[in-house]
Structure 1
Amino acid sequence: MKDDSVIRDEAFWSEGEARDSRWLITCDHATNRVPDWVGSGDLGIAADDMARHIAYDVGAAGVSKKLGALIGAPVVGSDFSRLVIDPNRGEDDPTLLMRLYDGTVIPANRDADAAERQRRLDRLHRPYHNALEKLAGARPDRAICAIHSFTPQLRGRMARPWAVGVLYSHKDERLAPLLIERCRQQGWVTGDNEPYSGHLDGDSIDRHALAQGRPNVLIEVRNDLIRDDAGQAEWAEKLALVMDGLLEEAGL
């Protein structure tokens, strides 16, 4: 079913909710937007920092939308910066409101009290997860593909060699190893739970996939490859290719 309808809310956006693929594409860190009621729309850091990976997953929203359109899957993404409140963290995670990230202090979070944390949870974090779960639960055989991006190099660290990484939890290895094999067959330098581990208690995959037994993968694309529309389109097509028939081959 072709459906390109867009739904927008303060906390999230979705596209193609009526599309008929088993897959749901999610994008937790889709934007660097700061709502005007948080620091008057300013977290107190430089514009250059707001354009970096610390504020959002560069290019991930474009890849998510294009991939969803290619494979006929609904797509849902956050509509607030991860620095406002991180939707890929559980509500009790100490990094929910980051005060320091990759060398940058976040002034608007440094003195955020419990009431401010609760306000951001109520207006942003919870509505996003409610929207995600609504789509995840729209069919009993749902599978989730989370799209993220990673920076080629953290400050003071070694360069990361991977073009793409496939992340997963030890609690569910039904899809990820097969996807990694497919990616490597394409000649891509592919990380196996790199550049970091794919399991974090309370994160989006843990909450919406592992807890319900839904098949899942989390794909990280190096963000210098998807900074512009052409790169996003190229990688959406590449990912559509390696995801084609993945669930069937895995017997799911």
Structure 2
Amino acid sequence: MMGILTGEEGEPVALENVAARGWVILVCEHASRQLPKSLGTLGLSEEALASHIAWDPGALGVSRRMAGMLDATLVFQRFSRLAYDCNRPPESPAAMPEKSEVYDVPGNSGLDRAAREARTEAFYLPFRDTLSRLVRNRIEAGRPPVIVTMHSFTPVYFGKPRAVEIGILHDADTRLADAMLMAGAHGPYEIRRNEPYGPEDGVTHTLREHGLSNGLPNVMIEVRNDLIKDEAGQGVVAGYLTGLLLEGLAAVQ
């Protein structure tokens, strides 16, 4: 299976504010719900394709605002995680999920090795390599970066409401997460460690691949998406998270 992306559809990964002088690199793996034309709708309804299974609503808006406040470079995936979830390695079933939450994904069912490799080459490898080059260039320039991945989650999951509003997630390196959790302990939001997901759910792949492997401070931020459903909410949350992140960085650097 060749030619998943046409020339008119552009690159699978986007870089914004490449010449940023700040220390942070923001990463948004689930920024878009767009599917390449070659994959059609993957057999899903418009309702499903607009839902959280296809993307992280609000995450890109918050990321862009934070990039401006922090003078940070932003890296994001331009196509839906249903085509390929760039926060998962190629060998993970979740990279091209056959089922996501309550939805079966017919277009991902029974993919053979060639189809999986084609998607990996079309989406994951360009994303991984772009981020790797950016990190390497910063390290070689004497400006080792801080890796911050940005996500959103649903207020209700399988019928159960979630009380957590902001999740601060980490893998083996807890330095930045610890500092941010301490800074946000008495703030306006319900902030929790490794909720609503954690390393055991496989969500820290990008942190491990680009942060831990290079000894860089890193953290994953999850925001409940009802808080960032419009521009006003995205601005408020971006401002709060920027302050929280700067407090955390001041404590660990």
The equivalent residue for 1:62 is 61
Q: Residues 226-245 of structure 1 correspond to what in structure 2 (within 5 A)?
A: 226-245=228-247
Query: What code does the residue aligned with 1:130 have?
Result: D
How far apart, CA to CA, are the structure 2 residues paired with 1:93 and 1:201?
A: 11
Deviations 1:23-82 (A, max 9, x none): 1000011011101122xx311111111111111111101111110011100001001111
Deviations 1:108-132 (A, max 9, x none): 1013221111111111111011111
The equivalent residue for 2:157 is 154
Alignment: residue pair count: 240
> Does the 8 A contact of 2:197 with 2:203 survive in 1?
no
Q: Residues 66-215 of structure 1 correspond to what in structure 2 (within 5 A)?
A: 66-140=65-139, 141-156=144-159, 158-169=160-171, 171-198=172-199, 200=202, 203-215=205-217
How far apart, CA to CA, are the structure 2 residues paired with 1:198 and 1:215?
A: 16
How far apart, CA to CA, are the structure 2 residues paired with 1:118 and 1:177?
A: 38
Please identify runs of 4+ aligned residues in structure 1 that moved more than 6 A. none
Residue 192 of structure 2: SS of its match in structure 1? strand
Residue 184 of structure 1: SS of its match in structure 2? coil
Range 193-202 or range 60-69, more displaced: 193-202
Query: What code does the residue aligned with 2:158 have?
Result: R
How far off its partner does 1:187 sit?
2.7
Q: Does 2:36 align with 1:35?
A: yes
How far apart, CA to CA, are the structure 1 residues paired with 2:30 and 2:68?
A: 19
> Does the 8 A contact of 2:183 with 2:247 survive in 1?
no
Q: CA RMSD in A?
A: 1.6
How far apart, CA to CA, are the structure 1 residues paired with 2:115 and 2:231?
A: 36
Range 52-61 or range 8-17, more displaced: 8-17
With structure 1 as the length reference, what TM-score do the two structures score? 0.91
How far off its partner does 1:233 sit?
1.3
The equivalent residue for 1:4 is none
With structure 2 as the length reference, what TM-score do the two structures score? 0.90
Residue 219 of structure 2: SS of its match in structure 1? strand
Gaps of 5+ in 2: 1-8
Q: Percent identity?
A: 33
Residue 25 of structure 1: SS of its match in structure 2? strand
How far apart, CA to CA, are the structure 2 residues paired with 1:236 and 1:50?
A: 26
More helix by percentage: 2
How far apart, CA to CA, are the structure 2 residues paired with 1:86 and 1:185?
A: 34
